[in-house]
């Protein structure tokens, strides 16, 4: 499988053209694995422009590949470098391939995109496949509306990679809630590679992560309003602010996390409005959003995968306003969560009635909690992944030991 050495290695690819979702998911898996496997090192390939803002555990590190950003028309452009998209993609692919050749992972995990952004991982997958390295595709619980996903994967020629390259497919969810490949014409051989892990449990403790002071809220119960990366969260923030402007007597203060990718002019406008409200406070970003989630009495959010995992993990009543463009991913997840009683969904409309939002915020802490719904294995994702990797690495050690015996007695 790989050259003989004491410590095992996992390489994770996360394309991260925009937002925080891919990076935070990969970081969560990496931290869980190094805590579980004491002889494992994890290297994350990430295009996130703020990957350096996060802390990483011992034996976890990252390689920052040049960033790209998706334009409104669907094309990509370089985030910072003044070079063409073909050149930036060639550079990214070269860094990915060279990292794999030097790091020589024992397992390669690719997040969401089977061939990477514009196929940039294809050569690396083929190279590692030739070495016998297990190749794993990790998928969130919902990818998109089935017809849209089927069309997208057909355009990207992704299905042959699932058939010919990948050995395993992890779905970070449960089929009872969502099947990300429903409507995609995958053969039975691909279906057999799928393991539904359950959602990825999040945790936080004073001993493991120092708590940052929560501005102005203090020790009083508060509602957490979070947009994830914030690039498309302005409508949610505006609606919540209008609710507090309409009804200053709302019983709980709100802490808004605007998100690092929200446009600076929008952030400035929102901060001005926040300054005029006694019960609303705002920050731009906190790399340890878990401690904000753990101390909240209710959560108002968009429907991203990581936020949904945190709502489940910290057992918070929630109000989810999912985006519906350019993907239906968040809407599908939020709709299913509401059907199961795990969360409440509120849809964006043209009016954004402050009265309706104020009423929803007033009653949010009294909503049922996710734990009121019993779903076996709901948050088993990390323990399932730990077990799978543990078995693979044990098998690797046995194979290495057998080869050593054979070479000595050869």
Q: What does the pLDDT look like over 235-245, one tens digit per residue?
A: 999 999 999 99
Which structural domain range is residue 356 located in? 223-372
At 244, which CATH number? 3.40.50.2000
Do 42 and 163 share a domain, yes or no? yes
**pLDDT of amino acid 228:** 87
CA distances (Å), origin 53, targets 32, 144, 159, 287, 305: 19, 29, 35, 7, 20
Reference 320, options 309, 306, 310, 330; nearest CA is: 330
- 16: tokens are 């991260």
Instruction: Kindly state the DSSP code that residue 279 receives in the 8-state scheme.
Output: T
**pLDDT of amino acid 335:** 96
Percentage of the residues of the chain whose pLDDT score is greater than 90: 73
Residue 338 lies in a domain: yes
Angle at 156 between CA 117 and CA 70, to 5 degrees: 40
Do 242 and 292 share a domain, yes or no? yes
Residue 216 lies in a domain: no
Residue 206 lies in a domain: no
Do 40 and 158 share a domain, yes or no? yes
Res. 390 pLDDT band, cuts 50 70 90: very high
β-pair type (223-226, 68-70): unpaired
Do 120 and 233 share a domain, yes or no? no
Do 367 and 383 share a domain, yes or no? no
Residue 210 lies in a domain: no
- pLDDT score of 53 more than 90: no
Do 135 and 68 share a domain, yes or no? yes
Do 85 and 176 share a domain, yes or no? yes
Res. 167 pLDDT band, cuts 50 70 90: very high
Residues 332, 145 contacting (CB under 8 angstroms): yes
Do 175 and 197 share a domain, yes or no? yes
Residue 214 lies in a domain: no
**pLDDT of amino acid 214:** 63
- pLDDT score of 26 more than 50: yes
Q: Report how many domains make up the chain.
A: 2
Residue 72 lies in a domain: yes
Do 183 and 236 share a domain, yes or no? no
- pLDDT score of 151 more than 80: yes
């Amino acid at each position: 499988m790989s050259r003989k050495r004491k410590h095992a290695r996992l390489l994770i690819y996360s394309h991260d053209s925009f937002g925080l979702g891919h990076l935070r998911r990969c970081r969560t898996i990496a931290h869980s694995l190094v805590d579980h496997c004491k002889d494992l090192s994890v290297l994350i390939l990430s295009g996130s422009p703020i990957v350096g803002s996060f802390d990483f555990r011992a034996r976890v590190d990252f390689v920052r590949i040049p960033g790209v950003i998706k334009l409104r028309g669907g094309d990509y452009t370089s985030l910072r470098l003044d070079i063409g998209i073909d050149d930036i993609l060639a550079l990214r692919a070269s860094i990915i391939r060279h990292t794999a050749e030097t790091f020589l992972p024992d397992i390669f995990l690719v997040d969401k995109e089977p061939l990477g952004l514009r196929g940039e991982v294809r050569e690396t997958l083929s190279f590692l496949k030739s070495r016998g390295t297990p190749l794993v595709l990790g998928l969130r619980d919902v990818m998109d509306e089935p017809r849209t996903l089927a069309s997208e994967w057909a355009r990207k020629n992704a299905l042959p990679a699932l058939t010919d390259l990948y050995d395993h497919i992890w779905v970070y969810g449960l089929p009872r809630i969502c099947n990300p490949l429903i409507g995609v014409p995958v053969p039975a051989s691909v279906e057999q590679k799928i393991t539904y892990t359950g959602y990825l449990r999040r945790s936080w403790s004073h001993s493991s992560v120092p708590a940052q002071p929560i501005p102005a809220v203090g020790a009083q119960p508060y509602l957490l309003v979070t947009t994830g990366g914030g690039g498309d969260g302005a409508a949610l923030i505006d609606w919540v602010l209008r609710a507090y402007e309409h009804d200053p007597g709302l019983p709980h203060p709100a802490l808004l996390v605007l998100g690092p990718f929200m446009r600076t002019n929008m952030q400035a406008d929102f901060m001005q409005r926040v300054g005029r409200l006694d019960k609303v406070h705002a920050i731009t970003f906190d790399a340890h959003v878990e401690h904000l989630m753990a101390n909240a009495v209710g959560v108002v959010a968009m429907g991203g995968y990581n936020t949904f995992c945190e709502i489940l993990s910290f057992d918070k009543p929630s109000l989810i306003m999912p985006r519906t463009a350019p993907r239906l991913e968040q809407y599908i997840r939020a709709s299913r969560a509401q059907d199961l009683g795990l969360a409440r969904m509120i849809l964006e409309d043209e009016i954004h009635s402050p009265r309706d939002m104020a009423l929803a915020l007033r009653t949010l802490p009294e909503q049922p909690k996710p734990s009121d719904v019993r779903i076996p294995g709901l948050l088993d994702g990390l323990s399932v992944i730990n077990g799978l990797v543990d078995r693979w690495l044990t098998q690797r050690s046995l194979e290495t030991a057998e080869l050593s015996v054979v070479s000595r007695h050869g």
